[in-house]
Amino acid sequence: MEEQEFINQLIQGNQTAYNQLLDDYQQKVFGTCISFVPNKEDAEDVTQEVFLEVFKSISNFKGDSKLATWIFRIATNKSLEFIRKKNTKKRFAFMQRIMGNEISIDQTNYFTEFDHPGILMENKEKSATIFKAINTLPDSQRVIFTLAKIDGKSYQEIVEITGKSLSSVESVLFRAKKGLQVKLENFYKNEQS
Protein backbone atom coordinates (compact mmCIF):
# COMPACT_ATOMS: atom_id res chain seq x y z
CA MET A 1 0.00 0.00 0.00
CA GLU A 2 1.27 3.48 -0.85
CA GLU A 3 2.10 5.71 2.12
CA GLN A 4 -0.41 8.39 1.13
CA GLU A 5 -3.19 5.82 0.83
CA PHE A 6 -2.22 4.45 4.26
CA ILE A 7 -2.29 7.97 5.75
CA ASN A 8 -5.72 8.60 4.18
CA GLN A 9 -7.02 5.43 5.82
CA LEU A 10 -5.63 6.59 9.17
CA ILE A 11 -7.32 9.99 8.73
CA GLN A 12 -10.61 8.23 7.97
CA GLY A 13 -10.27 6.24 11.21
CA ASN A 14 -9.81 2.84 9.57
CA GLN A 15 -9.22 0.36 12.41
CA THR A 16 -7.14 -1.98 10.23
CA ALA A 17 -4.83 0.92 9.36
CA TYR A 18 -4.46 1.82 13.04
CA ASN A 19 -3.61 -1.79 13.88
CA GLN A 20 -1.06 -1.84 11.05
CA LEU A 21 0.48 1.41 12.31
CA LEU A 22 0.88 -0.10 15.78
CA ASP A 23 2.32 -3.32 14.37
CA ASP A 24 4.82 -1.40 12.23
CA TYR A 25 5.92 1.25 14.73
CA GLN A 26 5.17 0.32 18.33
CA GLN A 27 8.48 -1.45 19.06
CA LYS A 28 10.50 1.15 17.14
CA VAL A 29 8.86 4.02 19.01
CA PHE A 30 9.37 2.21 22.32
CA GLY A 31 13.06 1.85 21.39
CA THR A 32 13.33 5.58 20.83
CA CYS A 33 11.46 6.40 24.05
CA ILE A 34 13.56 4.08 26.19
CA SER A 35 16.69 5.68 24.74
CA PHE A 36 15.59 8.94 26.34
CA VAL A 37 13.63 7.59 29.33
CA PRO A 38 15.63 4.63 30.68
CA ASN A 39 12.81 3.15 32.73
CA LYS A 40 10.67 0.48 31.05
CA GLU A 41 7.30 1.47 32.57
CA ASP A 42 7.83 5.18 31.91
CA ALA A 43 8.98 4.49 28.34
CA GLU A 44 5.83 2.39 27.79
CA ASP A 45 3.70 5.27 29.08
CA VAL A 46 5.48 7.74 26.77
CA THR A 47 5.02 5.32 23.85
CA GLN A 48 1.27 5.28 24.52
CA GLU A 49 1.26 9.09 24.58
CA VAL A 50 3.07 9.13 21.24
CA PHE A 51 0.41 6.98 19.58
CA LEU A 52 -2.40 8.98 21.16
CA GLU A 53 -0.82 12.10 19.67
CA VAL A 54 -0.34 10.40 16.30
CA PHE A 55 -3.98 9.27 16.21
CA LYS A 56 -5.21 12.69 17.33
CA SER A 57 -2.99 14.66 14.94
CA ILE A 58 -2.82 12.46 11.83
CA SER A 59 -5.24 14.76 10.00
CA ASN A 60 -2.69 17.59 10.50
CA PHE A 61 0.15 15.59 8.94
CA LYS A 62 1.26 17.67 5.96
CA GLY A 63 3.43 15.08 4.25
CA ASP A 64 6.56 17.29 4.36
CA SER A 65 8.45 14.25 5.62
CA LYS A 66 7.92 10.52 5.71
CA LEU A 67 5.31 9.26 8.17
CA ALA A 68 8.05 7.45 10.14
CA THR A 69 10.05 10.67 10.53
CA TRP A 70 6.98 12.51 11.81
CA ILE A 71 6.25 9.72 14.31
CA PHE A 72 9.86 9.69 15.59
CA ARG A 73 9.78 13.49 15.93
CA ILE A 74 6.69 13.11 18.13
CA ALA A 75 8.42 10.33 20.13
CA THR A 76 11.47 12.52 20.71
CA ASN A 77 9.37 15.50 21.77
CA LYS A 78 7.13 13.44 24.06
CA SER A 79 10.20 11.85 25.69
CA LEU A 80 11.80 15.23 26.34
CA GLU A 81 8.49 16.60 27.62
CA PHE A 82 8.24 13.66 30.04
CA ILE A 83 11.77 14.28 31.35
CA ARG A 84 11.11 18.01 31.82
CA LYS A 85 7.87 17.32 33.72
CA LYS A 86 9.55 14.70 35.90
CA ASN A 87 12.46 17.01 36.74
CA THR A 88 10.10 19.96 37.36
CA LYS A 89 8.10 17.91 39.88
CA LYS A 90 11.29 16.96 41.70
CA ARG A 91 12.56 20.56 41.73
CA PHE A 92 9.17 21.68 43.10
CA ALA A 93 9.33 19.05 45.85
CA PHE A 94 12.87 20.13 46.70
CA MET A 95 11.76 23.77 46.94
CA GLN A 96 8.86 22.72 49.15
CA ARG A 97 11.29 20.99 51.50
CA ILE A 98 13.46 24.11 51.67
CA MET A 99 10.40 26.25 52.43
CA GLY A 100 9.29 23.84 55.14
CA ASN A 101 6.31 22.30 53.34
CA GLU A 102 7.74 18.83 52.96
CA ILE A 103 6.43 16.61 50.20
CA SER A 104 7.68 13.05 50.10
CA ILE A 105 9.05 12.92 46.56
CA ASP A 106 12.63 11.85 45.95
CA GLN A 107 14.60 15.01 45.09
CA THR A 108 17.22 13.34 42.96
CA ASN A 109 17.48 13.70 39.23
CA TYR A 110 15.19 11.52 37.11
CA PHE A 111 18.01 9.42 35.74
CA THR A 112 18.84 7.92 39.12
CA GLU A 113 15.77 5.74 38.52
CA PHE A 114 17.67 3.84 35.87
CA ASP A 115 15.86 0.68 34.79
CA HIS A 116 16.68 0.04 31.14
CA PRO A 117 15.62 -3.55 30.30
CA GLY A 118 18.46 -4.10 27.82
CA ILE A 119 21.25 -3.57 30.36
CA LEU A 120 22.72 -6.46 32.32
CA MET A 121 22.76 -6.04 36.10
CA GLU A 122 26.55 -5.70 36.32
CA ASN A 123 26.47 -2.87 33.77
CA LYS A 124 23.55 -0.96 35.32
CA GLU A 125 25.71 1.27 37.54
CA LYS A 126 28.04 2.19 34.68
CA SER A 127 25.11 2.76 32.32
CA ALA A 128 23.25 4.85 34.90
CA THR A 129 26.35 7.06 35.21
CA ILE A 130 26.47 7.49 31.45
CA PHE A 131 22.76 8.34 31.24
CA LYS A 132 23.18 10.88 34.07
CA ALA A 133 26.02 12.49 32.13
CA ILE A 134 23.91 12.54 28.94
CA ASN A 135 21.11 14.20 30.90
CA THR A 136 23.42 17.11 31.79
CA LEU A 137 24.01 17.97 28.13
CA PRO A 138 22.13 20.93 26.60
CA ASP A 139 18.84 19.78 25.02
CA SER A 140 20.04 19.95 21.40
CA GLN A 141 23.16 17.91 22.18
CA ARG A 142 21.21 15.42 24.29
CA VAL A 143 18.63 14.86 21.53
CA ILE A 144 21.15 14.35 18.75
CA PHE A 145 23.51 12.20 20.85
CA THR A 146 20.63 10.02 22.05
CA LEU A 147 19.20 9.57 18.57
CA ALA A 148 22.63 8.76 17.09
CA LYS A 149 24.41 6.74 19.75
CA ILE A 150 21.65 5.16 21.80
CA ASP A 151 18.79 4.84 19.34
CA GLY A 152 21.11 4.10 16.39
CA LYS A 153 19.52 6.52 13.94
CA SER A 154 21.52 7.51 10.83
CA TYR A 155 22.64 11.10 10.35
CA GLN A 156 20.02 11.49 7.60
CA GLU A 157 17.25 10.26 9.91
CA ILE A 158 18.42 12.71 12.59
CA VAL A 159 18.41 15.54 10.03
CA GLU A 160 14.80 14.67 9.14
CA ILE A 161 13.65 14.28 12.77
CA THR A 162 15.31 17.44 14.11
CA GLY A 163 15.06 19.65 11.04
CA LYS A 164 18.75 20.60 11.38
CA SER A 165 21.28 20.51 8.55
CA LEU A 166 23.70 17.62 8.23
CA SER A 167 26.67 19.82 9.14
CA SER A 168 24.80 21.09 12.20
CA VAL A 169 23.98 17.53 13.32
CA GLU A 170 27.64 16.50 12.91
CA SER A 171 28.85 19.58 14.80
CA VAL A 172 26.37 19.17 17.67
CA LEU A 173 27.21 15.46 17.94
CA PHE A 174 30.94 16.27 18.08
CA ARG A 175 30.35 18.83 20.89
CA ALA A 176 28.15 16.34 22.76
CA LYS A 177 30.84 13.64 22.60
CA LYS A 178 33.51 16.09 23.81
CA GLY A 179 31.25 17.29 26.62
CA LEU A 180 30.48 13.74 27.73
CA GLN A 181 34.14 12.80 27.60
CA VAL A 182 35.01 15.65 29.99
CA LYS A 183 32.09 14.90 32.33
CA LEU A 184 32.89 11.18 32.49
CA GLU A 185 36.63 11.79 32.95
CA ASN A 186 35.83 14.10 35.88
CA PHE A 187 33.42 11.57 37.33
CA TYR A 188 35.93 8.74 37.21
CA LYS A 189 38.73 10.96 38.58
CA ASN A 190 36.47 11.79 41.54
CA GLU A 191 35.65 8.09 41.97
CA GLN A 192 39.37 7.25 42.13
CA SER A 193 40.02 9.88 44.83
Q: What is the pLDDT along the chain (193 residues), one digit of tens a residue?
A: 698 899 999 999 999 999 999 999 999 999 999 888 888 899 999 999 999 999 999 999 988 889 999 999 999 999 989 988 887 655 545 444 444 444 443 333 444 444 555 555 556 666 777 778 888 888 889 889 989 988 889 999 999 888 899 999 999 999 999 998 888 887 766 666 5
Please tell me the distance from the alpha carbon of residue 88 to that of residue 29, in angstroms, as a whole number: 24
pLDDT of residue 118: 54
3-state secondary structure of 39: strand
pLDDT of residue 101: 47
Please tell me the distance from the alpha carbon of residue 17 to that of residue 32, in angstroms, as a whole number: 22
Architecture of domain 3-192: Orthogonal Bundle (1.10)
Is residue 131 within 8 A of residue 46, CB to CB? The reply is no
N-terminal to C-terminal alpha carbon distance within the chain: 61
Angle value at C-alpha 113, between 161 and 135, nearest 5 degrees: 40
